[in-house]
Chains A and B, each alone.
Chain A
Amino acid sequence: MSTLMFLVLVGGPMALTVIALAAGSRTRARLRASHEWNWVRAMWAASLIAGVVAAWLVNSTLDLGRGTMLVPAVVGLFVVAGVGLAETVVRPPRPAGVRTASLTSRRVLDYLPRTLTNAVVAVSAVHVATLTLATSTASADDMGRAGRQVAAQCGNVGSAAGPYPGSFYSGPLALLLLVIALATAAALTAVVRRPRGFAPDDVADDVLRQRSATRIVAAAGAAVAASHAGIAFFAGTALLRMDCQRAWMDPVGWLLVASVPVALVLLGWFLARILTPGALPATASKEPAETR
């Protein structure tokens, strides 16, 4: 498992980086916004395909539903990596001549879209809380595998349900979520450090940077929301299936099940925000792809 996780976490993003660098060197030869935009979209498609392949590998390799639980996060990691690389590496050449620089320090916080960021932070907090709760309340299954099911005892009668996202599932998922968070932070830092000069003026340059940050935050949100929908569904239905429940299990089960459609709606919104900041330009211009 560790070799596969290493391949997915390191090999996949490295392959995407190679594609992005190739795209970046190709765009440097031309200054057409539509051309660059095509490469950005190709980068997204490549990351999605690579993510699906990696998720399929993980799903077919890890047993007892562990791969299935990781699928949304694996695809999400690749989407974050692809969007991040497309926003930082695939850039047009800078025009020649006099260069200018503002003396204002740029900070990541200045470029984050407030509503979207709040939504991503909220869904991430709920997801982490869900994983923490599931990990702390899970038990070993009948084969002694720790953190695979939830169990309760009512007098002489015992009840158990699974799969339940205890440590058996949440361990690798937490690792993936950490990598997604690091990839998001790295991509946002790269966007903020990206040199000026790709837009006609500083205001347009800030708009480009905000749009890039929006796409990256939205990709991270999509990864977390997709993961939460799956985890909350399994955790919630496992709690509700119990014949013998502790007091907290029924309300928490319903809450988790209710959070699934909310996560799916948020997932749709996040995916839309990745796509909407950049409609196709009406005509090719010297301006960067995202000023269209």
Chain B
Amino acid sequence: MSPQLTLDPEDPTPPYEQLRRQLADLITAGQLSPGDRLPPLRQLAGDLGLAVGTVARTYRELEQEGLLTSRRGGGTRVASLGAPPTTTRRRLLAGMTRDYVERARGLGFSDEEIATALDRHLPR
């Protein structure tokens, strides 16, 4: 099954940033491999109910970060430089864990409760 992008109209984060973050994470985590072709701007914009320019901005920013490459007639593909070295993947996971812990602590949960909740979601 191919990866999915989601767009939450209620989220205060601008749509192009929501997409940019998800695509960057998918590339960094290795869900999208170097050379994988992304859908055309119009298709993605239509599916998500966005203006074509919004998706174009996302692609452009990811190109500037070196994660995507665009070629006339060849579409937009994941750049070979965007291959996920193990350390980058680990760094992504560490960042997500840090966000989770900080958010839970901010809401008053103890470290023990946080660990227990995480443990419950990782059945062995």
A-B contact count (CB 8 A): 64
Does chain B have a CB within 8 A of A41?
A: no
Interface stretch, picked from A9-17, A100-108, A140-148, is A100-108
Does chain A have a CB within 8 A of B42?
A: yes
Task: Say yes or no: B38 contacts A103, CB within 8 Å.
Answer: yes
Which residues does chain B contribute within 8 Å of A155, judged by CB atoms? none
Residue of B nearest to A106 (CB): B43
Which residues does chain A contribute within 8 Å of B101, judged by CB atoms? none
Given the interface pairs A104-B2, A105-B37, the reply to whether A99 lies near B49 with Cβ below 8 Å is yes
Task: Say yes or no: A193 contacts B46, CB within 8 Å.
Answer: yes
Contact of B6 (CB < 8 Å), options: A94, A99, A105: A99
Task: Say yes or no: A103 contacts B48, CB within 8 Å.
Answer: no
Interface residues of B in 29-60 (CB under 8 A from A): 32, 36-40, 42-44, 46-49
Contact of A103 (CB < 8 Å), options: B3, B8, B46: B3
Contact of B48 (CB < 8 Å), options: A101, A104, A193: A101
Does chain A have a CB within 8 A of B24?
A: no
Which residues does chain A contribute within 8 Å of B8, judged by CB atoms? 98
Which residues does chain B contribute within 8 Å of A105, judged by CB atoms? 37-40, 43, 75
Does chain A have a CB within 8 A of B4?
A: yes
Interface residues of B in 1-43 (CB under 8 A from A): 2-9, 26, 32, 36-40, 42-43
Which residues does chain A contribute within 8 Å of B49, judged by CB atoms? 94, 99, 195, 197
Interface residues of B in 47-78 (CB under 8 A from A): 47-49, 75
Q: How many residues of B contact A (CB 8 A)?
A: 23
Which residues does chain B contribute within 8 Å of A195, judged by CB atoms? 46-49
Task: Say yes or no: B2 contacts A101, CB within 8 Å.
Answer: no
Residue of A nearest to B44 (CB): A101
Task: Say yes or no: B2 contacts A98, CB within 8 Å.
Answer: no
A283 shortest CB reach to chain B, Å: 28
Which residues does chain B contribute within 8 Å of A196, judged by CB atoms? 46-47
Residue of A nearest to B47 (CB): A101
A230 shortest CB reach to chain B, Å: 39
Contact of B4 (CB < 8 Å), options: A94, A101, A194: A101
Contact with B along A80-117 (1 / 0, CB 8 A): 00000000000000101111111111100000000000
Residue of A nearest to B40 (CB): A105
B66 shortest CB reach to chain A, Å: 19
* Complex Cα gap A83–B75 (Å): 31
Task: Say yes or no: A100 contacts B37, CB within 8 Å.
Answer: no
Task: Say yes or no: A103 contacts B2, CB within 8 Å.
Answer: yes
Residue of B nearest to A104 (CB): B2
Task: Say yes or no: B4 contacts A103, CB within 8 Å.
Answer: yes
* Complex Cα gap A105–B46 (Å): 13
A190 shortest CB reach to chain B, Å: 10
Residue of A nearest to B37 (CB): A105
Which B residues are closer than 8 A to A by beta carbons? 2-9, 26, 32, 36-40, 42-44, 46-49, 75
25 pairs from A and B in contact (CB 8 Å cutoff): A96-B9, A98-B8, A98-B9, A99-B49, A100-B4, A100-B6, A100-B7, A101-B6, A101-B44, A102-B2, A102-B3, A103-B2, A103-B3, A103-B4, A103-B5, A104-B39, A105-B37, A105-B40, A106-B39, A106-B43, A194-B46, A195-B48, A196-B46, A196-B47, A197-B47
Which A residues are closer than 8 A to B by beta carbons? 94, 96-106, 193-197
